[in-house]
């Protein structure tokens, strides 16, 4: 049973007439929803209602009846007029030949139809919004005004027979948990002293019944359906973190029941807010006499994107750069100019009934680190057009496809450049999305633009207008191919790369049916068929841009070689990657995966018997290393603490250390011992001794000590110091301790099962031409 709005004196409601007109055009439910700016479920519900009222079996039969049916005159005019508006929204629909007379005629039609629509208070598109809107019922409006304006004493006099119930909503508007009865004096006192505004007014339905039942003192009979006619929902600010929802049930033109619900959560979508007591306007639009504030409606659902369909960049052409560049599509350029320059009134006229979706990033703390959480909301047309027209705006990019995406850089003066994406399909604006919010420390103000724009490398041919040149990825720092390395054989290969000489580079490939190829830095070289290596060299020759470095190859490297050349290639537009050529005496003898490290320089070599000869009693002769080994064997945690050379880092770290009482997050600096077992661990200095003993290092013996030099450009956490001591156990378990002259600087253990092969610490690469 549903009471809702008063019935229309026509077979269909005005909204249903409009849906039927769209059915006659052959539109699907999804297309109808997009055209009307409602959810697909709502469109589906309207279609089902139409089929029921017309008593036809399917949508095809209903569409066939459209022209034979006769709606009430103002409704029929509404259907025709909305169709006309959709056509007039396209700039090509109005011809210049009509001149002033055509414009005058259109204006007259608009004025006439608007006047008729205003006479019908139940026309769906004319349903007013809260908090300022009111119903078309004078009695209901009188109740609303008294609830909004009277003080406690006046409320008690007006509603003397009504008590209230308060509790937490369970499962939406179907029940109250732990409900408590409030006396007339209690609820009138609270409401009379609170800030209050109208949230919604709508017709009652049996599914809205709130349990438990009203108390006997209310005079409402206990039954599955109390027979309410309408509901009025207020947003009441009585001092809590968020407004509460108050719902007033109306029966026989009087308030007969009051439900109050609150929530400790700041998000208005949680039960307890006025929204929890209100049906979804997207799904039950026709029940409303006053709609909830549009800003509280669910955000529009993002429409699917396709990289194909719609205008794309013609083959062999280059897209211009924003902000000055424009597309080759005249109508699309007109739309862009409107978005960039028109005032709010013109934007509102051009894009009627189109709400925006706003995705705001909210800063949160996650394990002591900066993180953001997205919050989506709906932005009514009046709000987004006002915001856009008041802001500084420029074109950032245009990406083709279905739909075309026009991306604007919008500066509202808040210090962060917002990204506004406008989806355009067949010349019509169909979606507006706004991206903004909090940025991580050090992030550029245009980060939201980067996130809203399709990846430039993977979608280069989609761009009708490229982002500004200054916003595009820059080539990595590297040497020009004309650089002199001091090696004639290397310089010759660089000259071939500079000239993109495919034949010359292929001619430098060493003979053989297979060529050594190193797939990853952790594996020994395998072999590839010569044809595959030639295909890789052809790609390198065609796309090479610069040389990053030339590294000397240490003795024992496989294949035997003199140098490894790091070459940057532009694999895709604005995407660079490194290729490694292994060179020997001017020939390319293989392909590598990384620059080789130098061989370890042993201070204490492995024992002659290898792993089997490792003993916990073995010592290095290095004072600080042996002192740590003695403390580990003795289980002396306090001694180990004195032998740690700690690293300073602020609390809280990503995995620790957590801040203690009295310490300021991000400011207080803590002394830690960096460690690694599958992930970083950072015990405080005073806990470092017990931490090392807990790693079972006492059962391991000294395998070797190598000289160590921290790689340039790396943070001083897991690689600080001048020596690395490798400890091993008979089962292959291993741990590395980094040392400075003062003590332990870091420790790490391999993640995974023990490996019987001792890890060989590597020295830093030796360069003929170092990286920039």
Ordered structural domains, the chain, with CATH: 14-126 (1.10.10.10), 138-296 (3.10.450), 330-464 (3.10.450), 488-592 (3.10.450.50), 602-764 (3.10.450)
**Among 333, 198, 349, CA closest to 278:** 198
Between 13 and 141, the higher pLDDT residue: 141
The DSSP result for 575-624, as a single string, is EEEEEEEEEETTEEEEEESSPPPBPP-EEEPPPTTGGGG--TT---S-HH
Q: What are the angstrom distances between the C-alpha of 488 and each of 204, 353, 483, 579, 583?
A: 89, 71, 11, 21, 12
pLDDT of residue 232 exceeding 60: yes
Average pLDDT, integer, range 579-586: 93
pTM of the model: 0.59
**Contact status, residue 651 vs residue 684, Cβ threshold 8 Å:** no
In the chain, the percentage of residues whose pLDDT exceeds 90 is 34
pLDDT of residue 273 exceeding 80: no
Strand partners, 735: 727, 749
What local confidence, expressed as pLDDT, does residue 207 receive?
58
- Give 197's DSSP letter: E
Strand partners, 374: 361
Average pLDDT, integer, range 443-452: 85
pLDDT of residue 541 exceeding 90: yes
Average pLDDT, integer, range 167-187: 67
Average pLDDT, integer, range 332-352: 92
pLDDT of residue 114 exceeding 50: no
Between 226 and 522, the higher pLDDT residue: 226
pLDDT of residue 1 exceeding 90: no
Reported for 598-601, long-range contacts at CB under 8 A and 24+ positions apart, including other chains, are 598/554, 598/762, 598/763, 598/764, 598/765, 598/766, 599/554, 599/555, 599/556, 599/762, 599/763, 600/704, 600/706, 600/707, 600/760, 600/761, 600/762, 600/763, 601/706, 601/707, 601/763
Q: CB under 8 Å to 142, separation ≥6 — which residues? A: none
Between 215 and 125, the higher pLDDT residue: 215
pLDDT of residue 80 exceeding 50: no
- The two three-digit tokens of residue 533, written as one number: 């290596």
Average pLDDT, integer, range 254-262: 85
pLDDT of residue 511 exceeding 90: yes
**Contact status, residue 444 vs residue 432, Cβ threshold 8 Å:** no
Among 336-340, 442-446, 524-528, name the one with the lowest average pLDDT.
442-446
pLDDT of residue 110 exceeding 50: no
Pairing of strands 544-552, 767-769: antiparallel
HSE-CB of 370 using CA atoms within 13 angstroms: 10
Average pLDDT, integer, range 272-300: 80
Average pLDDT, integer, range 536-543: 94
pLDDT of residue 620 exceeding 80: yes
pLDDT tens track for 123-151? 334 688 899 989 988 899 999 999 999 99
Average pLDDT, integer, range 21-35: 83
Strand partners, 372: 363
pLDDT of residue 576 exceeding 90: yes
**Contact status, residue 290 vs residue 134, Cβ threshold 8 Å:** yes
DSSP SS3 for 724: strand
Between 728 and 544, the higher pLDDT residue: 544
d(CA 278, CA 724): 67
Average pLDDT, integer, range 590-614: 81
Kindly provide the residue ranges of all beta strands, DSSP E only, lying in 400-460, ordered along the sequence.
404-411, 417-425, 428-437
**Contact status, residue 190 vs residue 177, Cβ threshold 8 Å:** no
Among 53-62, 379-388, 518-527, name the one with the lowest average pLDDT.
518-527
**Contact status, residue 479 vs residue 548, Cβ threshold 8 Å:** yes
What local confidence, expressed as pLDDT, does residue 206 receive?
60
pLDDT band (50, 70, 90) for residue 550: very high
The torsion defined by the Cα of 334, 336, 342 and 344, in degrees rounded to 10, comes to 120
pLDDT tens track for 699-710? 889 988 888 766
pLDDT of residue 605 exceeding 90: no
- The two three-digit tokens of residue 165, written as one number: 């119930």
Among 69-78, 82-91, 233-242, name the one with the lowest average pLDDT.
82-91
pLDDT of residue 696 exceeding 90: no
What local confidence, expressed as pLDDT, does residue 268 receive?
42
Report for 357-371, 386-400, 412-426, 674-688: range of highest mean pLDDT: 386-400
d(CA 251, CA 259): 15
What local confidence, expressed as pLDDT, does residue 480 receive?
95
**Contact status, residue 211 vs residue 176, Cβ threshold 8 Å:** yes
Residue 81: which H helix or E strand, with range?
helix 73-88
Residue with tokens 């769209």: 22
d(CA 551, CA 119): 84
pLDDT of residue 713 exceeding 60: no
What local confidence, expressed as pLDDT, does residue 722 receive?
81
Between 752 and 238, the higher pLDDT residue: 238
Report for 90-99, 387-396, 514-523: range of highest mean pLDDT: 387-396
What local confidence, expressed as pLDDT, does residue 731 receive?
80
Average of per-residue pLDDT values in the chain: 79
**Contact status, residue 20 vs residue 51, Cβ threshold 8 Å:** no
CA 696 to chain centre: 43
Residue with tokens 């075309």: 404
pLDDT of residue 538 exceeding 90: yes
Among 90-94, 160-164, 199-203, 496-500, name the one with the lowest average pLDDT.
90-94
pLDDT band (50, 70, 90) for residue 565: very high
What local confidence, expressed as pLDDT, does residue 171 receive?
43
Q: CB under 8 Å to 328, separation ≥6 — which residues? A: 311, 314, 464
pLDDT of residue 470 exceeding 70: yes
């Amino acid at each position: 049973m549903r009471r809702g709005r008063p019935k229309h004196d026509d077979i269909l409601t005005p909204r249903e007439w409009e849906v039927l007109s769209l059915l006659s055009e052959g539109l699907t439910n999804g297309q109808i929803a997009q055209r009307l700016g409602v959810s697909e479920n709502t469109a589906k519900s309207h279609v089902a209602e139409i089929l029921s009222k017309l008593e036809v079996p399917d949508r095809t039969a209903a569409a066939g009846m459209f022209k034979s049916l006769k709606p009430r005159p103002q409704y029929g005019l509404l259907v025709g007029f909305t169709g006309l508006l959709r056509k007039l929204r396209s700039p090509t629909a109005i011809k210049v030949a009509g001149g002033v007379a055509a414009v005058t005629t259109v204006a007259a039609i608009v004025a006439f139809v608007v006047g008729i629509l205003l006479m019908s208070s139940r026309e769906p598109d004319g349903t007013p919004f809260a908090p300022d809107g009111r119903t078309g019922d004078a009695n209901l409006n009188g109740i609303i005004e008294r609830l909004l304006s009277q003080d406690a004493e006046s409320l008690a006099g007006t509603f003397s027979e009504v008590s209230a119930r308060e509790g937490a909503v369970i499962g939406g508007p179907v029940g109250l948990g732990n409900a408590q009865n409030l006396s007339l004096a209690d609820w009138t006192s609270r409401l009379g002293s609170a800030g209050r505004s109208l949230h919604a007014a709508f017709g009652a339905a049996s599914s809205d019944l709130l349990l438990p039942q009203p108390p006997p003192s209310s005079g409402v009979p206990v039954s599955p359906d109390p027979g309410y006619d309408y509901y009025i929902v207020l947003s009441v600010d009585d001092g809590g973190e968020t407004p509460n929802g108050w719902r007033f049930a109306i029966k026989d033109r009087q308030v007969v029941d009051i439900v109050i619900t609150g929530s400790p959560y700041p998000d208005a979508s949680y039960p307890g807010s006025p929204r929890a007591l209100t049906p979804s306007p997207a799904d039950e639009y026709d029940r409303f006499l006053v709609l909830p504030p549009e800003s509280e409606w669910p955000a529009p659902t993002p429409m699917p994107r396709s990289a194909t369909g719609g205008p794309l960049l013609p083959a062999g052409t280059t897209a211009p750069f924003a902000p000055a560049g424009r597309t080759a599509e005249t109508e699309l350029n007109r739309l862009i100019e409107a978005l960039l320059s028109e005032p709010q009134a013109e934007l509102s006229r051009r894009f009627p009934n189109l709400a925006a979706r706003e995705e705001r990033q909210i800063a949160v703390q996650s394990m002591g680190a900066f993180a953001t959480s997205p919050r989506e909301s709906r932005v009514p047309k009046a709000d987004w057009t006002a915001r856009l027209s008041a802001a500084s705006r420029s074109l950032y990019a245009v990406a083709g496809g279905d739909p075309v995406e026009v991306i604007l850089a919008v500066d509202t003066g808040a210090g962060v450049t917002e990204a506004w994406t406008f989806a355009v399909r067949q010349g019509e604006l169909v979606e507006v999305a706004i991206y903004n919010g909090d940025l991580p420390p050090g992030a550029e103000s245009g980060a939201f633009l980067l996130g809203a724009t399709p990846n430039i490398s993977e979608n280069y041919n989609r761009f009708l207008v490229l982002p500004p040149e200054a916003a595009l990825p820059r080539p990595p720092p590297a040497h020009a191919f004309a650089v002199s390395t001091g090696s004639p054989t290397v310089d010759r290969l660089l000259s071939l790369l500079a000239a993109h000489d495919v034949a010359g580079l292929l001619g430098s490939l060493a003979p053989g049916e297979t060529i050594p190829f190193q797939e990853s830095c952790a594996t020994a070289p395998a072999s590839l068929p010569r044809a595959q290596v030639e295909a890789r060299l052809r790609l390198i020759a065609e796309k090479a841009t610069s040389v990053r470095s030339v590294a000397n190859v240490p003795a024992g490297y496989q294949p035997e070689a003199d140098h490894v050349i790091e070459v940057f290639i532009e694999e895709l537009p604005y995407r660079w990657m490194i290729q490694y050529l292994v060179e020997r005496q001017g020939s390319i003898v293989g392909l590598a995966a990384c620059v080789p490290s130098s061989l370890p320089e042993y201070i204490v070599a492995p024992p002659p018997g290898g792993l089997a000869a490792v003993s916990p009693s073995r010592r290095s002769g290095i004072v600080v290393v042996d002192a740590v080994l003695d403390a580990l064997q003795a289980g002396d945690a306090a001694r180990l603490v004195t032998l740690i050379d700690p690293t300073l880092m602020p609390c809280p770290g990503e995995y620790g250390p957590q801040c203690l009482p009295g310490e300021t997050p991000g400011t207080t600096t803590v002394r830690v011992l960096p460690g690694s077992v599958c992930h970083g661990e950072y015990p405080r200095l005073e806990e470092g001794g017990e931490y090392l003993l807990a790693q079972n290092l006492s059962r391991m013996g000294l395998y070797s000590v190598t000289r160590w030099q921290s790689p340039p450009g790396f943070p001083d956490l897991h690689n600080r110091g001048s020596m690395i001591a490798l400890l091993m156990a008979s089962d292959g378990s291993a741990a590395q301790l980094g040392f400075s002259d003062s003590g332990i600087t870091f420790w790490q253990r391999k993640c995974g099962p023990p490996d019987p092969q001792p890890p060989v610490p590597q020295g830093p690469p030796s360069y003929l031409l170092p990286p920039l």
